[in-house]
Amino acid sequence: MNNKNLFWFNTVTLVLICSLFITGCWDQKELQDRAFIMTVGIDVADEGLGATGSPPYEVSVQVLKLAAGASEKQSAQEAKTYVLSGRGESIFEIIRQLYSNSSKALWFEHLQAIIISRKAIEKKGLKPVLDFFIRDSETRWKIKLFTTQNKVRQFLEYQPPTGEAGGIFLDELIDQYTRNPEIAGRLLDLGYINLLLDTKKEVFMPQISMQKKKIQITGADVYRGNTYLGHYDEYSIKGQKFIIGGVESAIIAVPYPPGTDTIMALEIFKIVSKLEPHVNEDEIYFTLDIFIRGNVGEKQITREVIDLDDSKQIIAFEEAINNEIKTNIMYGLNQSRRIGADFLQFSDKLRAHYPETWARLKEKWSNIYPTIPLYVRVESHVRHRGEHL
């Protein structure tokens, strides 16, 4: 065989070999053969005990309904999802049991939210409940977690008024934390909660409840292991987010002039928080410096009373905002101290900056934490008055 023929022989052989690898793969599964799970709800049964002596899990999955050829009007009226439920000792096993109700493979790649009842966490522990989702490569890190005091299945059956699937509604609902600082949402997804659990830290999870047949986020529950420590209300969450630098945008409304019942609001668009530990011999304290920039967002007072052309008024308004934020921070801190959950990264800061002090105190940290002073300094700057004075 001459060189030219050898070249063509090699080329054709290579192409033929390559074609073996493009015929498809073992993992091929058509879209219409998959059942997309949007939300998983985990609860424990009210009655009966499992083989381990504890009540069995009740797992519900919200499956996306893929309807071909439905008109837009029909599509808007029809439910987008349906719910399958099972009961057992292992979450993975229950999910496989659900195949007896589903003609399609249950597919967790697009799972948006997991709702766990407080009762399930107390009976089983959060780590065991989440283990399957952490171990499986199909599930994503950014799945949103919720807890509730109610039965879980009703949240999976809920049809959002916007017409979207329930899981997507929940995912987007929690993402509103960027606009509403009273929603706990930042770094509270499956991956990050698992990181906190790995280091045996307290975990806080957004709580949802059903009010007038509508889903609402109502603060957050705090857990250590499988112990429920307490509940943070919305105002407390906002205060704590100021401490850990978790506020991206906020509206701060204060009575202005101070002591009156008229309101002025600042729209915050930039916040920088700096929490620093200080150790002075046996004394430990923290300082928090917050720098805020924003615009006047609302003024319910006439121009004759408050003239925003007057820079003294602007400075006084900034001072009122500073005081309100300090009050909010101390409220959040006190709730955290009362519950005894150091979610404010005090221990992380101490470990990073004063490792020897931390090594000495870490065993008794839960007792020491509520007594550590925090000194707060807030500096807010108004950048714009808005379009109208």
**Binding positions for another protein, rule: CB under 8 A:** 14, 21, 25-27, 137-138, 140-142, 187, 191-192, 195, 198-199, 348-349, 351-353, 355-356
Q: Report the residue number, 46 or 356, with the smaller CB distance to another protein.
A: 356
**Shortest reach from residue 226's CB to another protein, in Å:** 19
**Shortest reach from residue 195's CB to another protein, in Å:** 5
Beta strands in 281-388 (DSSP E): 283-299, 374-384
Work out the burial of residue 139: count CB atoms within 10 Å of its CB; fewer than 13 is exposed, 13-18 middle, 19 or more buried. Answer: buried
Please give the helix or strand (H or E) that residue 89 lies within, else none.
Answer: none
Among residues 155, 220, 218, the alpha carbon closest in space to that of 193 is found at 220
**Shortest reach from residue 205's CB to another protein, in Å:** 17
Amino acid at 289: D
CA pair distance 380, 290, nearest whole angstrom? 8
Q: Report the residue number, 34 or 349, with the smaller CB distance to another protein.
A: 349
Q: Report the residue number, 261 or 363, with the smaller CB distance to another protein.
A: 363
**Shortest reach from residue 230's CB to another protein, in Å:** 25
* Cβ–Cβ < 8 Å for 89, 50: yes
**Shortest reach from residue 87's CB to another protein, in Å:** 27
CA pair distance 192, 187, nearest whole angstrom? 6
Preceding amide of 56 cis, omega within 30: no
Q: Report the residue number, 355 or 386, with the smaller CB distance to another protein.
A: 355
CA pair distance 341, 132, nearest whole angstrom? 26
Chain centre to alpha carbon of residue 274: 22
Q: Report the residue number, 140 or 224, with the smaller CB distance to another protein.
A: 140
**Shortest reach from residue 331's CB to another protein, in Å:** 26
Amino acid at 140: R
Half-sphere exposure of 158 (CA within 13 A, CB side): 28
* Cβ–Cβ < 8 Å for 40, 114: yes
**Shortest reach from residue 138's CB to another protein, in Å:** 8
Q: Report the residue number, 49 or 272, with the smaller CB distance to another protein.
A: 272
Q: Report the residue number, 65 or 140, with the smaller CB distance to another protein.
A: 140
